Structure 1
Amino acid sequence: MNLFTETNLSPDILKAIGELGYESPTEIQKQTIPFILSDIRDLIALAQTGTGKTAAFSLPILDMIDDTSRKIQLLVLCPTRELCLQISKDIKNYSKYMKDIKTTAVYGGSSIMDQIRSLKEKPQIIVGTPGRVIDLINRKALDFSAIHWLVLDEADEMLSMGFKDELETILSETPDTKQTFLFSATMNKEVERISKNYLTNPHRISVGSINEVKKNIKHEYYVVGYRQKKEALKRLIDANPNQYSIIFCRTRMETQEVADFLMQNGYAADALHGDLSQAQRDTVMKKFRLKNIDILVATDVAARGLDVNSLTHVIHFSLPDDPEVFVHRSGRTGRAGKDGISMALIKPEESRKLKQIKSATKIEINEMFIPTGDDIIKAQVGGVFEKLFTEHEEDIFEFDDSLIPDLNNFTKEELVHKLLQFQLKDLALYYKDKHDLAEQKLSSRDDDYSRRDRGRDRDRDRGRDRDRDSRGSRDGRDRGGKPRKRDENMVRFFFNLGKKDQLKKLDVLDIINKATAGGKSKKRAEIGDIEILEKFSFFEVEKSFKDNVMSNIPSMKFKGKEMRAEVAN
């Protein structure tokens, strides 16, 4: 089956997908469509994200669905609202000429009453997230007693997000006679258990392998200390102009911090993570799809359902624990026959984790060095010409050629030089006096470090860092030995608690606010920089509250521990 026209799909479906530009099926579609059309067994289909799984299961089901019945015949469960909406939209497009087929999406973050009203239209197809489906079952708004097909899409992700109980409840609400299709990128223990408990003698289809994404993707890694990661990220972005990228972080907090850093530095970036409201998530997704922003900083879960084929780069700000997650992330670039670049920022102590990823994925990941200022300017010059000669936009405005001054006194090279100096002036000034980031190469010897050696070296380095921090802070100089610029109205304090005491910035803010609550002024104290180190911390407070901090903090305790603060300079 090399063309969709060679399938037994109905003319209405072929017409709809033909208008969408579908000609040749993907590998998962080649194997899945004939199976579903001709077999009554359950199915486990393993395929990477972006391989066309929605069409693989929905096209044959649409071909067989009874459009004269007003009962729910197909239920598709997926992990996120975004993926739910994407699948629903795709199915509606595929059934464009099937006038009696109705599809309804149900998901959290939107009015459940609106969704209940839409269910009264008697759709044959429900696409939903597990939590909202459970809510609707409890309200007697969903009846799955007559369904013929159940699809678990991104099953591994649903289980990793903690939907195990919800999935089992929903599965128990469906008839034993249904046909169940489990689609997943990985076959972990939880997915295996679900398949054994709820699928009957399933047929298996596996498309590609864990390392298949490396065909069109160049993999790179950069070794950099934790304190330098954001600056290193900035350099990677500047050295790769005109990129359209996703930066992956491990946690919601890290995602927001990185996005804030980029936006503060003038990049068209934004964050996507679970702490955002649904309206905020929708706005960010829309901006990214429209390329109003060209850098999206996201957690792995939040990026699910984001289907973009033109990404140029994927950047791993933090390495994932699971090698297959690394492949998922990287596979978001290099789609639609285009080349892509996957770049990972790793700390020196993560050499073992990187080695595990290389071993598990069989991907060749090449070490590169953080670009220097000269490297970045050269790349930016190339980026200016790339954008100039590849973007064919109509003139936005008109002007009289007589406004162009006489340029005969300039050679072509001189004129281009002046224009580039004007275009890249700010960037060049930023990197002019910047030190290059230290190059730290991971040798095979690093991979052979014992945990004891690694821990000993890490403690030694931390000790040096603390010495530099303490020395720099107490004598009024930064870590480079240069005088520290400080607001004259602020006082910098040394504080005796740190990360080892489970101290966080919010805790420091709370301590300062309590210590300064009895100040001479009625207003709250202005708080400056807060820096939490391993064994101690530093913070800045408005000068007029100095005595309050000095006298009140020693009388307070944090998690049963004595506290003290002293002026750092």
Structure 2
Amino acid sequence: MSEFKKLGLSAQLADVLQNMGFENPTPVQKEAIPLLLQNDPTDFIGMAQTGTGKTAAFGLPLIELIDVEEKATQALVMAPTRELGQQIGQQLKDFSKAVPKMNIEVVYGGAAITNQMKALKKTTQIVVATPGRLLDLIKRKAIKLGNVRFVVLDEADEMLNMGFKEDIDQILSHTLDIRSTWLFSATMPSEIRKIINKYMVQPLEVKIQSEVKSNKDITHQYVVTKTANKVPALRRFLDIQPDMRGIMFCRTKRETQEIADALGSMGYGTEALHGDLSQAQRDAVMKRFKSRSMQLLVATDVAARGIDVNDLTHVLHHKLPDQLESYTHRSGRTGRAGNKGFSIAFVNPREVRRVDELGRKINVDFQKVEVPSIQQVKSVRISKWANLIVNTEVDEQADEILSGIKEKFQGLSKDDLLKRLITTQLDHLIAQNGEEDDLNEIQGKKKEGKDRKFLRYFINVGTMDGVTKSDLVHFLSDVSGIDRKAFGSIELQKTNAFFELEKGKQSGLLQKFENIDIEGRAIRVNLDEDANRKKSSTDKQGKKKSNSRNNRYGGNHQGNGKKKVSRRDNRDRRRRR
């Protein structure tokens, strides 16, 4: 007998599940399905993460309990995002293949409401909806909920986080007073309890414990680095694992966009997904991600709800979430369908204790991993590049093209040519903004060699010249003969740029750029006097602040009789002049 049939499902539905490849029910399905079938009508609470099979846990009982002969909407499923709504709707349609007369419609914002109104004119037993669009349809009298006997609130915690509490209240006011309300949530904040107390009567409850939810196919790791070095550290992992395909979770929309833009400008296949994007933009991003047109999706927790991608190799955390349930929710997006996955948290030294606490609470052993060094990244990249060259089939046009450019390489030995090719491969791996080779941090200790002092310079080369930050570092290093690691931050503008150079390395710098020109335009490099003067002043003030309490209040104030001069005194003096 089918394992699903043992739960009380009909033979027809069990056969559909078998044809779909469903073999054994998940813990939440095993506990929820019999309760919902045997206790109709009943209110129900299901505590479980995304990826644990919640849709089948409520969807299969719905299909069994709906009366297809009744010409009215009997079940309403609400979800926080369009993506999740579409995912739920598709699964319900797949499950209901054994019930030909059943019709399921999905309605959401960002799509033409007239098409959805037209679809709802047909007999529709189950409606899957986002709260905002459902309210619009109710106001237009395009949907009637007076016969709804089942209301499912999926990802209820996220609907509240997105501000849908009032919408849910309005929607439920249009349904029967006597109905079954099934609520599914990853977390149980106080607002969820308010909904339970208001709309439910003695609900049955199923809670899947964290120990059960933790996926054994996921390796949990963490990296200790400065907050400012989290993105450079991420780049190293992307470089050393070019086959990585993952999602990086961030807390804010602004942070998400900034990280995606920074990586994209350096040539990495990354895009952002957050609530400020239009629905068309979000659809386009997800289409590219699912088609493998990008390596990394940078997303907020809310925007990533409903993303259903089974072959993610990595989940990355720019910052750890506040709730442990959110961590398991995030990390559960990898290691699916029997595949191995990695969940890597980027933390600063002060956050290491949170990793330890999280590991104890969810019964997971976190492995500390090191940020790859620049040399490791170079070695991996060159090795993969060499294998690619060796295994590439020669194009039939190559002979003709080679004959036209062969003379350009006369005088170069095989080794000379290979060295130049290797150099071009290493271009994008050059440390950006003077980053160090070792980005790892030690908890509670300060690494040596991090207090480098820089001088700021101006150069009349900018984005109009088609240069990137990496190009500029190359150019500066090649002309000056100064090691690239000595250069600090780069600020590119339209017609010029500013760059930092480590103090003590500047000897002969300006002279090296005399008589250098690009396409007839003389290159000019100057010391940025104003910026360096301000920086020097700031450094001095910082030193003063770090002195004794007496020094903070005017140096030898009590010993030399000098009076501290305030800004107001200076203003008065200028007026008297």
TM-score normalized with structure 2 length? 0.71
Q: 1:335 to 1:420 in 2, by over 3 A?
A: farther
Q: 1:243 to 1:382 in 2, by over 3 A?
A: farther
Q: Given residue 357 of structure 1, which amino acid in structure 2 is its aligned partner?
A: L
The answer to whether the 8 A contact 1:211-1:363 is kept is no
1:472 corresponds to which of 452, 455, 460: 455
Q: Given residue 86 of structure 1, which amino acid in structure 2 is its aligned partner?
A: Q
Q: Given residue 162 of structure 2, which amino acid in structure 1 is its aligned partner?
A: M
Residue pairs, 1:328-347, within 5 angstroms: 328-347=329-348
Instruction: Indicate the residue corresponding to 2:411 in structure 1.
Output: none
Deviation at 1:358, TM superposition (A): 3.7
Residue aligned with 1:292, SS: coil
Residue pairs, 1:65-144, within 5 angstroms: 65-144=66-145
Instruction: Indicate the residue corresponding to 2:294 in structure 1.
Output: 293
Deviation at 1:155, TM superposition (A): 0.8
- Which one is further off, 226-235 or 348-357? 348-357
The answer to whether the 8 A contact 2:2-2:14 is kept is no
Instruction: Indicate the residue corresponding to 1:270 in structure 2.
Output: 271
Q: Given residue 154 of structure 2, which amino acid in structure 1 is its aligned partner?
A: D
Q: Given residue 73 of structure 2, which amino acid in structure 1 is its aligned partner?
A: I
CA RMSD of aligned residues (A): 4.0
Residue aligned with 2:25, SS: coil
Q: Given residue 217 of structure 1, which amino acid in structure 2 is its aligned partner?
A: I
Residue aligned with 2:456, SS: helix
Q: 1:482 to 1:140 in 2, by over 3 A?
A: closer
Q: For residues 115 and 312 of structure 1, what CA distance do their matches in structure 2 show?
A: 37
Q: For residues 354 and 211 of structure 2, what CA distance do their matches in structure 1 show?
A: 17
The answer to whether the 8 A contact 1:75-1:150 is kept is yes
Deviation at 1:9, TM superposition (A): 2.8
Q: 1:111 to 1:386 in 2, by over 3 A?
A: farther
Deviations 1:220-244 (A, max 9, x none): 2222223322211100111223111
Q: For residues 168 and 418 of structure 2, what CA distance do their matches in structure 1 show?
A: 58
**Is structure 2 residue 8 aligned with structure 1 residue 25?**
no
Q: For residues 273 and 157 of structure 1, what CA distance do their matches in structure 2 show?
A: 14
Instruction: Indicate the residue corresponding to 1:50 in structure 2.
Output: 51
The answer to whether the 8 A contact 1:44-1:182 is kept is yes
Residue aligned with 1:96, SS: helix
Residue pairs, 1:456-467, within 5 angstroms: none
**Is structure 2 residue 304 aligned with structure 1 residue 303?**
yes
Instruction: Indicate the residue corresponding to 2:527 in structure 1.
Output: none
The answer to whether the 8 A contact 1:74-1:126 is kept is yes
Q: 1:141 to 1:378 in 2, by over 3 A?
A: same
The answer to whether the 8 A contact 2:73-2:124 is kept is yes
**Is structure 2 residue 367 aligned with structure 1 residue 366?**
yes
Residue aligned with 1:182, SS: strand
The answer to whether the 8 A contact 1:244-1:311 is kept is yes
Q: 1:55 to 1:226 in 2, by over 3 A?
A: same
Q: For residues 387 and 36 of structure 1, what CA distance do their matches in structure 2 show?
A: 56
Q: For residues 133 and 171 of structure 2, what CA distance do their matches in structure 1 show?
A: 11
Instruction: Indicate the residue corresponding to 2:441 in structure 1.
Output: 440
Deviation at 1:432, TM superposition (A): 6.5
Q: For residues 14 and 388 of structure 2, what CA distance do their matches in structure 1 show?
A: 39
Deviations 1:222-276 (A, max 9, x none): 2222332221110011122311111111111221221122222222222211111
- Which one is further off, 233-242 or 201-210? 201-210
Q: For residues 184 and 212 of structure 1, what CA distance do their matches in structure 2 show?
A: 14
Deviation at 1:332, TM superposition (A): 1.0
Q: 1:86 to 1:217 in 2, by over 3 A?
A: same
Q: 1:10 to 1:487 in 2, by over 3 A?
A: closer
Deviation at 1:133, TM superposition (A): 1.4
Deviation at 1:487, TM superposition (A): 7.1
Q: For residues 92 and 217 of structure 2, what CA distance do their matches in structure 1 show?
A: 29
Q: Given residue 439 of structure 1, which amino acid in structure 2 is its aligned partner?
A: N
Q: For residues 494 and 134 of structure 2, what CA distance do their matches in structure 1 show?
A: 58
Q: For residues 418 and 282 of structure 1, what CA distance do their matches in structure 2 show?
A: 48
Deviation at 1:280, TM superposition (A): 1.3
Q: 1:349 to 1:121 in 2, by over 3 A?
A: same
Q: 1:310 to 1:201 in 2, by over 3 A?
A: same
Gaps of 5+ in 1: 406-416, 447-456, 494-529, 537-569
Residue aligned with 2:188, SS: coil
Residue aligned with 1:327, SS: helix
The answer to whether the 8 A contact 2:49-2:213 is kept is no
Deviation at 1:123, TM superposition (A): 0.6
Q: For residues 27 and 59 of structure 2, what CA distance do their matches in structure 1 show?
A: 15
Gaps of 5+ in 2: 403-414, 460-475, 477-481, 500-530, 539-577
Q: Given residue 4 of structure 1, which amino acid in structure 2 is its aligned partner?
A: F
The answer to whether the 8 A contact 2:154-2:183 is kept is yes
Q: For residues 61 and 189 of structure 1, what CA distance do their matches in structure 2 show?
A: 28
Residue aligned with 1:473, SS: strand
Residue aligned with 1:472, SS: strand
Q: For residues 308 and 353 of structure 1, what CA distance do their matches in structure 2 show?
A: 28
Q: 1:421 to 1:307 in 2, by over 3 A?
A: farther
Deviations 1:288-337 (A, max 9, x none): 12222231111111110001121110111222222321221111111122
Q: 1:483 to 1:363 in 2, by over 3 A?
A: closer
Q: For residues 419 and 216 of structure 1, what CA distance do their matches in structure 2 show?
A: 45
Q: 1:440 to 1:76 in 2, by over 3 A?
A: same
The answer to whether the 8 A contact 1:103-1:125 is kept is yes
Q: Percent identity?
A: 39
- Which one is further off, 99-108 or 7-16? 7-16
Residue pairs, 1:97-496, within 5 angstroms: 97-209=98-210, 212-380=213-381, 426-431=424-429, 435-443=436-444, 468=453, 472-473=455-456, 482=487, 489-490=495-496
Deviation at 1:430, TM superposition (A): 4.3
The answer to whether the 8 A contact 2:225-2:441 is kept is yes
Residue aligned with 1:220, SS: strand
Q: Given residue 23 of structure 1, which amino acid in structure 2 is its aligned partner?
A: E
Q: 1:197 to 1:261 in 2, by over 3 A?
A: same
Q: 1:189 to 1:492 in 2, by over 3 A?
A: same
Deviation at 1:72, TM superposition (A): 0.7
Residue aligned with 1:215, SS: coil
Q: 1:344 to 1:488 in 2, by over 3 A?
A: closer
Q: 1:7 to 1:326 in 2, by over 3 A?
A: closer
Q: For residues 242 and 27 of structure 1, what CA distance do their matches in structure 2 show?
A: 32
Deviation at 1:129, TM superposition (A): 0.8
Deviation at 1:170, TM superposition (A): 1.9
The answer to whether the 8 A contact 1:210-1:324 is kept is no
Q: For residues 69 and 386 of structure 2, what CA distance do their matches in structure 1 show?
A: 59
Deviation at 1:178, TM superposition (A): 1.0
The answer to whether the 8 A contact 1:241-1:383 is kept is no
Q: For residues 187 and 300 of structure 2, what CA distance do their matches in structure 1 show?
A: 18
TM-score normalized with structure 1 length? 0.71
The answer to whether the 8 A contact 2:52-2:213 is kept is no
Q: For residues 185 and 160 of structure 1, what CA distance do their matches in structure 2 show?
A: 12
- Which one is further off, 119-128 or 344-353? 344-353
Q: For residues 67 and 421 of structure 1, what CA distance do their matches in structure 2 show?
A: 72
Computing the radius of gyration over CA atoms, which structure comes out larger, 1 or 2? 2
Q: For residues 62 and 382 of structure 1, what CA distance do their matches in structure 2 show?
A: 54
Deviation at 1:95, TM superposition (A): 1.3
Instruction: Indicate the residue corresponding to 2:557 in structure 1.
Output: none
Q: Given residue 317 of structure 1, which amino acid in structure 2 is its aligned partner?
A: H
Q: 1:386 to 1:21 in 2, by over 3 A?
A: farther
Instruction: Indicate the residue corresponding to 1:499 in structure 2.
Output: none
- Which one is further off, 434-443 or 197-206? 434-443
Q: 1:207 to 1:383 in 2, by over 3 A?
A: farther
Q: Given residue 79 of structure 2, which amino acid in structure 1 is its aligned partner?
A: C
Q: Given residue 123 of structure 1, which amino acid in structure 2 is its aligned partner?
A: T
Q: For residues 374 and 323 of structure 1, what CA distance do their matches in structure 2 show?
A: 36
Q: For residues 83 and 166 of structure 1, what CA distance do their matches in structure 2 show?
A: 18
Q: For residues 132 and 307 of structure 1, what CA distance do their matches in structure 2 show?
A: 22
Q: 1:295 to 1:106 in 2, by over 3 A?
A: same
Residue aligned with 2:172, SS: helix
Residue aligned with 2:284, SS: helix
